[in-house]
Amino acid sequence: MTASEQSQAASAGKGPLDGVVVLDLSRILAGPTCTQVLGDLGATIIKIEHPERGDDTRTWGPPFALGEDGEATDLSSYFMCANRNKLSVAVDIATPEGQETIQQIAARADILIENFKPGGLEKYGLDHRTVLATYQQLIYCSISGFGHTGPNREKPGYDLMAQGYSGIMSLTGEADGAPVKVAVGIADVMTGMYASVGILAALRHRDQTGEGQHVDLSLVDASLAWMINEGVAHLTTGKPRPRRGHQHATIVPYQTFACADGFVLVAVGNDLQYTRFCDFLGRPDLADDPRFATNSARVVNREVLIPMLEALMTEHSQAEIVAGLEARKVPVGPVNTVEQAFASDQAKAREMRIDMAKEGIDRGAVELIGNPLKFSATPVTYRRPPPHLGEDTQAVLEWLEGKRAAPEG
- Three-state secondary-structure class, residue 25: strand
Strand, helix or coil at 133? helix
DSSP output for 49-77: E-TTT-SGGGGS-S-EEEBTTS-EEEEEH
Q: Is 271 a catalytic residue?
A: no
Q: φ, ψ for residue 47 (rounded to 5)? A: -90, 120
Point out the catalytic residue in the list 74, 159, 188, 392.
Answer: 188
The SS3 call for residue 373 is coil
Whether residue 63 is preceded by a cis peptide bond, meaning omega within 30 degrees of 0, is yes
| DSSP conformation class of 114 | E
Distance of alpha carbon 391 from alpha carbon 90, whole angstroms: 8
DSSP structure string for 202-235: HHHHHHHHS--EEEEEEHHHHHHHTTHHHHHHHH
Euclidean distance between CA atoms 340 and 355, whole angstroms: 18
Other Cβ atoms less than 10 A from the Cβ of 319: the count is: 14
Nearest residue to 10 (alpha-carbon basis) of 53, 40, 37: 40
Which residues belong to the active site?
Answer: 188
